[in-house]
Structure 1
Amino acid sequence: MKTLKFKTNINCGGCVSKVTPFLNQQEGVESWEVDTTNPDKILTIKSDGASEEAVKATLQKVGFKAESVT
């Protein structure tokens, strides 16, 4: 299990509900959460095979940006 972290522009409950079905269906994503109280809106994903590129592509399809955080 790997943890991926992204700086995003998912900044409210409405945005979270918009990405929920896409992240829930993303292959290799076990669980995820967005810290909307953090100024960088950090998305944390517990991954069992999902790549950073795949997550970024999924978020872009829904209209959001994600930048990898190390």
Structure 2
Amino acid sequence: METLNFKTNIKSSADVAAVTLNLNDIEQVDGWNIATDAPDNLLTVQTTDNRIAHLVQKAVEKAGYTAQLVEP
């Protein structure tokens, strides 16, 4: 299991709801969470394939938000 972290501009439960379907549609995502109370509104993605960062970014952008991969 791999973990990917992204800085986002997702700030509220309504924002989380807006990206939920897009993130859930990514087959390689086993789970995800957005810490809207964290300074960078951190999106944490659990995946079986760490090469899907671009898919996560596109899914978030499709809902009108930004996601920037945080390198380990």
TM exceeding 0.5 = yes
Q: Distance in 1 between matches of 2:64 and 2:54?
A: 15
* Cα deviation code 1:1-55 (max 9, x no counterpart): 1100000011000000111111111120000000000110000000112611111
Q: Indicate the residue corresponding to 1:18 in structure 2.
A: 18
User: TM-score, normalising length from structure 1?
Assistant: 0.93
2:29 match: 29
Alignment of 1:26-65 (within 5 A): 26-49=26-49, 51-65=52-66
| C-alpha RMSD of matched pairs (Å) | 1.0
Runs of 4+ residues deviating >4 angstroms:
none
Counterpart secondary structure, 2:17: helix
Q: CA deviation at 1:64?
A: 0.8
